[in-house]
Amino acid sequence: MNSFSCFDVRELLAYSDECLFAPTMTTTKELWENALVELELSISKPNFNTWFKDTHIVRVEDGTVSLGVPSQFARDWLSAKFHKDILHSLRTLSESVRTVEYVISRGPKRTGEEGRVIPPPPTELPLESVHQKSNLNPRFTFETFVVGPFNELAHAAAQAVVRKPGIAYNPLLVYGPTGLGKTHLIQAIGNHFRVSAPERKVYYVTSEKFSMDYVSSLQAGKVQSFKEKYRQYDLLIMDDVQFLAGRDKIKEEFFHLFNYLHDSNKQLVFSSDQHPNVIQNLEDRLKSRFSAGMIVSVTPPDHQSRLAIIRTKAAAHNFYLTDEVLEYLATTIEGNVRELEGALNTLMIQFEMRGQPLTVNDAKTLLRGAGGTTKKAVSVQEVVKTIANFYGVEEGSIYEKTRRKEVVRPRQVIMFLLREDFKISFPTIGEKLGGRDHTTVIHSCDKIKNDIRGDSVLSNEIHQIRLMLK
């Protein structure tokens, strides 16, 4: 008999055994493969291919080999006809084998799936669950939203919207830097609405998805059905509207949709990473429409809120942290909530692996570098360059001794930011910016600080510049 004759069977085995069990699997797998080579010699090819197909060793325990076979036919036949041969070949390979028993099992691949008790019902029949309908993530609810001074206004506005949809604040726009729970908040509105008014239609969409929908409806020549689809909703939630900027056709479509829904008193909720007024390439008509409702911002959480957030998140995972570690996390990770979550996850995995409580030192080593990511080292030249570009003045003029009005303001902003954000000393700033006296620098910083309060244009500009410097 040539060596190819059992090829198909062994290949099947190799297939079905892959990567599922602990290291012992490879040895039992090898054991059975070697036994098959031997069995093949003593059994006719048709018999071998019929009866040994899809067989595998399920486990070896106390000298008993449990052989998985595909059906009762195979079990009865193997134990009646080939038991001796099987036992013999296994024994010659491994002396510890005493007996062989046969169990009906569909192979490791399928047993792996048996964990699921009830598979989801046929997808086509129940067609759409509520979740798919609204595109909302049920995880995001008000219950899991941590409220602190940094977001309480946004939260209150959201609550008002939920109480009086279409009337209270329409549209509601939440803006703020990434990772501060904008998506969570606006989806929570949707989820709450879904429960309180199940007969009304809610839809959550990112502006990206909205654009893609529009483009594909254009390609398919079904713009009308696209319009109908979006106009049917009682509450439309759109995430990251800043991405709409610069896309003329889509902006126009959005504009019409906005008007339609707004006129029929349907609630609109948006999120953006900037105040709409500073989003570039956004037309005034859209800006003014956004401003017609309520615009609220979320800011990075303060120290107390960070503590509260970490506590809530850890409690949700039944994970306990000492106060010191909590304090350490809240102090070092100043950035957004997502970073806090990431750090917490790192600690949790470590805790699970070690099984003992973590100390502050552990946390320090584990999270090395995590806190630092929030502040990037930026050279003074770079700051100057960015800000000069922003205001459209020549970089060189910043360093010159000129007092032209268009240069003075940018120069003051540069000084202010270098001081506030990069903590450079007044004399150094003066020296770097063309050898100015430190009192000049102090005056500039104070001036900008004062102006920001009354001048929303300036404060927006600074916000934008800060984003650019990140």
Q: Which spans of this chain sit near another protein (rule: CB under 8 A)?
A: 46-47, 49-50, 71-77, 80, 104, 106, 110, 114, 116-127
Residue 367 DSSP symbol: T
Give the other-Cβ count within 10 Å of 80's Cβ.
Answer: 8
Residue 4 or residue 22: which is nearer to another protein going by CB? Answer: 4
Residue 88 or residue 106: which is nearer to another protein going by CB? Answer: 106
**In the complex, minimum distance from the CB of residue 324 to another protein, in angstroms, rounded to a whole number:** 49
Q: What angle do CA 98, 100, 103 make, to 5 degrees?
A: 150
**Phi, psi angles (nearest 5°) of residue 239:** -95, 145
Residue 50 or residue 389: which is nearer to another protein going by CB? Answer: 50
Residue carrying structure tokens 């953006």: 272
How far, in Å, are 29, 84, 91, 158, 273 from residue 94 at the CA level?
A: 13, 15, 5, 70, 67
**In the complex, minimum distance from the CB of residue 104 to another protein, in angstroms, rounded to a whole number:** 5
**In the complex, minimum distance from the CB of residue 106 to another protein, in angstroms, rounded to a whole number:** 6
As a three-state string, the secondary structure of 1-47 is CCCCCCHHHHHHHHHHHCCCCCCHHHHHHHHHHHHHHHHHHHCCHHH
**In the complex, minimum distance from the CB of residue 78 to another protein, in angstroms, rounded to a whole number:** 10
d(Cα 367, Cα 364) in Å, to the nearest integer?
5
- Strand 267-272 relative to strand 172-175: parallel, antiparallel, unpaired? parallel
Residue 6 or residue 388: which is nearer to another protein going by CB? Answer: 6
Q: Is 414 helix (H, G, I), strand (E, B) or coil?
A: helix
**In the complex, minimum distance from the CB of residue 127 to another protein, in angstroms, rounded to a whole number:** 7
Length of the chain: 470
Residue 122 or residue 392: which is nearer to another protein going by CB? Answer: 122
**In the complex, minimum distance from the CB of residue 72 to another protein, in angstroms, rounded to a whole number:** 4
Residue 127 or residue 353: which is nearer to another protein going by CB? Answer: 127
Residue 77 or residue 399: which is nearer to another protein going by CB? Answer: 77
* Cα first-last separation, the chain: 72
Instruction: Tally helices (H) and strands (E) across the chain.
Output: 23, 8
Q: Residues 417, 452: contact at Cβ < 8 Å?
A: no
Residues forming a β-bridge with 202: 235
Residue 123 or residue 219: which is nearer to another protein going by CB? Answer: 123
**In the complex, minimum distance from the CB of residue 133 to another protein, in angstroms, rounded to a whole number:** 11
d(Cα 194, Cα 278) in Å, to the nearest integer?
33
The single-letter code of the amino acid at 193 is F
Nearest of 133, 150, 134, 151 to residue 142 by alpha carbon: 151
d(Cα 243, Cα 227) in Å, to the nearest integer?
20
**In the complex, minimum distance from the CB of residue 105 to another protein, in angstroms, rounded to a whole number:** 9
Residue 79 or residue 277: which is nearer to another protein going by CB? Answer: 79
**In the complex, minimum distance from the CB of residue 82 to another protein, in angstroms, rounded to a whole number:** 11
